[in-house]
């Protein structure tokens, strides 16, 4: 079953469970899926491929994390708590991300391959790594490992 279809089924389950946060999150995701289809000039009733759906979910997770940070800076703990409550419902659809310890050997191998030995190559190295680790590792973790190894 495609991720898009799985999430549609999840809406029914969330409504039966009378879980307002989960219902809200799933409805928001389904709306984002339709927006993505329309943006790609496809029919709104089509289904997204799993990689397209994952990209939409990753964007939603990133938006929630950014919102939490901004709400906390603005002193709006109530709004930050709402975003924090929605985050786990989104993250459960994402594949498990690699830890910094798992990323480190990959970074070391790519450093040897590209001959990166100083900070001037950090951007090039990070870009190459993100292509290899797309969807498997968080960009912030990759950048942190690269910065630690090149310093």
The CATH class, in words, for 100-150 is mainly alpha
Structural contact between residues 27 and 53, judged by C-beta atoms closer than 8 angstroms: no
Indicate whether 77 pLDDT > 90: yes
- The pLDDT of residue 39: 92
Instruction: Tell me which residue of 86, 97, 78, 108 sits closest to 135, measured CA to CA.
Output: 97
Indicate whether 63 pLDDT > 90: yes
Say yes or no: do domains 3-91 and 100-150 share a fold: no
Residue 18 tokens read as: 């009378």
Residue tagged 């969807």 (tokens):
135
User: For residue 144, which phi and psi values (nearest 5 degrees)?
Assistant: -65, -40
Name the residue ranges covered by the structural domains of the chain: 3-91, 100-150
The residue-averaged pLDDT of 5-22 equals 92
Lowest-confidence region among 24-33, 47-56, 85-94, 115-124: 115-124
3-state DSSP of 32-58: HHHHHHHHCCCCCCCCCCHHHHHHHHH
- Report the distance separating Cα 52 and Cα 45, nearest Å: 15
CATH of range 3-91; options 3.50.50.60, 2.30.29.30, 1.10.8.60, 1.10.1510.10: 1.10.1510.10
pTM value > 0.85: no
Q: Which tens digit of pLDDT belongs to each residue from 113-150?
A: 877 777 777 788 888 888 888 777 888 888 888 888 87
- The pLDDT of residue 64: 93
């Amino acid at each position: 079953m495609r991720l898009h279809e799985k999430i549609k089924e999840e809406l029914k389950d969330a409504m039966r469970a009378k879980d307002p946060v989960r219902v809200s999150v799933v409805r928001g995701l389904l709306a984002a899926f339709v927006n993505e289809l329309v943006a790609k000039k496809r029919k709104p009733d089509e289904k997204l491929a799993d990689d397209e759906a994952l990209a939409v979910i990753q964007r939603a997770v990133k938006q929630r994390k950014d919102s939490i940070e901004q709400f906390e800076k603005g002193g709006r703990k109530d709004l930050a708590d709402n975003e924090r409550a929605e985050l786990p419902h989104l993250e459960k659809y994402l594949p498990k991300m690699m830890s910094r310890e798992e990323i480190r050997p990959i970074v070391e191998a790519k450093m040897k391959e590209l001959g990166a030995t100083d900070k001037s190559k950090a951007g090039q190295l990070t870009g190459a790594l993100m292509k290899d680790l797309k969807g498997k590792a968080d960009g912030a973790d990759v950048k942190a490992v690269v910065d630690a190894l090149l310093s």
